Structure formats: structure tokens, C-alpha cells
Amino acid sequence: MTAVCADCAVRRQALCGSLDDGELAALHRLGWRHRMARGETMAWAGAENVACATLLSGVLKLSASTADGREQIVGLHFPSEFIGRPYGDTVEFSVSALTDAELCVFPRDRFQEVLGAHRGMERMLLQRTFAALDATRSRLLVLSRNTAAEKVAGFVLSMAERARGISDCRASADGPVTFDLPLTRGEIADVLGLTIETVSRQLTKLKGAGVLALPGVRGVTIRDPAALRARAGLL
């Protein structure tokens, strides 16, 4: 496992980055690598909470079912982020793969013991939990106050920031940021509280204004970052 951890692309950003090599080896004797195919579900809402994980690659979604049976996406997870609730007995939201993904998985009860023995790791988890709560509150503000144009532009910016954190998304050092959206336009509409038609219309407007290029089905190239920030209401 020492060799596996040394090769881990997210070790420094993940919770386990707070552990030394000996502690890391002890932790990983409890865990295993798990690959998920796009569309596969890791855990269903309401099920017994038996595992926690660190996302190594790919993108996962958190979702809930509405009273009429529709799915509502309530959050996204990207590489280095922690998945699960160490101190919860049941799964709060379903966790599914938006892309092919790989995780480092641990039994919840044993991981809970590790947190109790390593206060630095427990403190980091608490800090990240508060950061996630702040991000959720900010997203609620966006959904309640921003226009459709601002929502879509802001979403593209946030996905670009995520892409920069997990991959080389520039063809050259000073080239435009290019990446693939992990969500379909329908899923983007779900996240932003818009219709598919509105999302498509706003992306087309950004393309027509020269702010974005849209190569392929999910590809995005940011041609004018300043204009995109302005359309997101950030300038």
C-alpha cells in the first residue's frame, strides 16, 4: 500500500495527506481501491451506512428523490474529496458516478476509529465539512437571486476551476482553458433549477458572443474569461 499511496495523485489534497507514512500504511490496511463505471451507484439514500471513501478520480453526484419520483442533484464530488458520513448510521443521499471513477474505500466503523486516534485528520474533516456547508449556502443564494444567464456562466466558471484542479486543461501555458463538463445539459438544469431549453439557450448565447467555444457534446473552451466572469455577475 505504501507504493500505491506514493502513486496517488490526490494524496496531498486528501484527508489522508495529514498522516505520516506509518500512519498511512496502517490506514490503508483497512481499505481497498474500487472502480466505478459511469452510471453506477455506490450507495442508496436510506440504506445502512457501511463505508466511507476518498475519491481518487472521476466525478460523483449526490442526489435525492422528490415526492413525485424525480431525481434532484444536490451536490457533486471531485477528486481528493471525502465521501460519506463517518458518524451517521444511514446514507443521507444516493451517491452515483457521473463519469468512470476510482475510490479508496474504508469500512465506516473502522474509519471512525482512525479519526478518533488522529485528531489532525478529524479536524481537517470538520474544516472541510464547514467549507462544504458554506458552499451549499452560497449555491442557495445563487439559485434564489441570480438570473438564468448568471447561473449558467457561474456554473461554467466553477467547473473550470474544478478542471484546473484535477487535470491539465490548457494546450499551452497561456492557452484557453478547455475541459469536458461532467454533467449533461439536463443535469446542469437540475442543479441550477432551470429547464434544459434555458441552459442550452444560455450556452448558445455565450458561444455566439465569443465568450465560449463548445467543441463536441460536452466540451467547453473559455475564450474570454473576463467576459464570462462579468456574465456571472462577478465583476
CATH number for the domain harbouring residue 100: 2.60.120.10
What's the rounded Cα separation, in Å, for the pair 203 and 201? 6
Residues recorded for the chain: 235
Q: How far apart are CA 106 and CA 104, in angstroms?
A: 7
- Among 94, 123, 141, the domain boundary falls at 141
Task: State phi, psi for 68 to the nearest 5 degrees.
Answer: -95, 10
Residue 8 and residue 105 in one domain: yes
Pair (221, 170) in one structural domain: yes
Digit-coded pLDDT (tens) for 63-120: 998 888 888 888 899 998 999 998 889 999 999 999 999 999 999 999 888 888 888 8
Same domain, 74 and 183: no
For residues 115 and 199, state if they share a domain.
Answer: no
- Residue 56's domain comprises 2-141
Q: Are residues 101 and 154 in the same domain?
A: no
Q: Same structural domain for residues 125 and 10?
A: yes
- 132 and 27 part of one domain: yes
Total domain count, the chain: 2
Shared domain check, 150 and 137: no
Q: What is the pTM of this model?
A: 0.80
Do 43 and 115 lie in one domain? The reply is yes
Taking only the tens place, the pLDDT of each residue in 194-222 is 999 999 999 999 999 999 999 988 899 99
CATH number assigned to the domain comprising residue 155 = 1.10.10.10
Distance CA 50, CA 41 (A): 14
Confidence (pLDDT) at 171: 45
Q: Cβ(93)–Cβ(75) under 8 Å?
A: yes
**For the chain, first and last CA: distance in Å?**
47
Rounded average pLDDT over 128-145? 81
Is residue 168 pLDDT above 50, yes or no? Answer: no
Residue 203 has a pLDDT of: 96
| Cβ-contact 136, 191 below 8 angstroms | no
Q: How far apart are CA 25 and CA 9, in angstroms?
A: 17
Please indicate, yes or no, whether residues 191 and 129 belong to a single structural domain of this protein: no
Residues 11 and 93 in one domain: yes
